[in-house]
Amino acid sequence: MTRTDVLEAEAPRAAVGLRELASRHALLPLRIFLGVTFVYAGLDKLTDSAFLSASGDGSIGDLMRGVRDTSAVPALVDLSLNSPVGFAVALAIGEILVGLGTLVGLLTRVAALGGALIALSLWLTVSWAVTPYYYGNDLIYLMAWIPLILAGAPYLSLDSVIRSRLSRRTA
């Protein structure tokens, strides 16, 4: 058998290996995107003094008062208006925790559920009146979290490291 014959025989196996590798890591780009985006969104809120105000241009208070009458769940907006700055800080910290958990793959399904709940609440309040609906990004984020809720982070994650160590201990 010549070197060319060997290379031609190995090419299909290599292609299968690459497909398996790509399949195994298919959610990694989504994890990175959502993780980075949520960490950035949280940090952006925490460092924006205008946003962290009860009133004024760019404030969380004015934003929530502006969407109250067009939201799907006005009671949720009213709840945030009880303490707009506290709500903004809680939202920002939640986004950062969700983003970090997703990036490192720690409690990934829990982090993804948190991200989905944040996106759902923002969709039902802030972007509910956006028409057509597909212009509102919160609905897209909600849908993007679902694969991570279902699959978690089985590879390249702290979850997989912990799972591996636990399985070695029980074996």
Residue segments in the chain with a per-residue pLDDT below the cut of 50: none
Predicted local distance difference test score (pLDDT) of residue 26: 92
Q: What is the pLDDT of residues 43-61, one digit of tens each?
A: 999 999 999 999 999 999 9
CA dihedral 51, 70, 79, 73 (to 10 degrees): -130
Tokens representing residue 64 in the block: 């929530």
E strand segments, the chain: none
Predicted local distance difference test score (pLDDT) of residue 24: 84
CA distance 69 to 89: 23
CA distance 18 to 66: 50
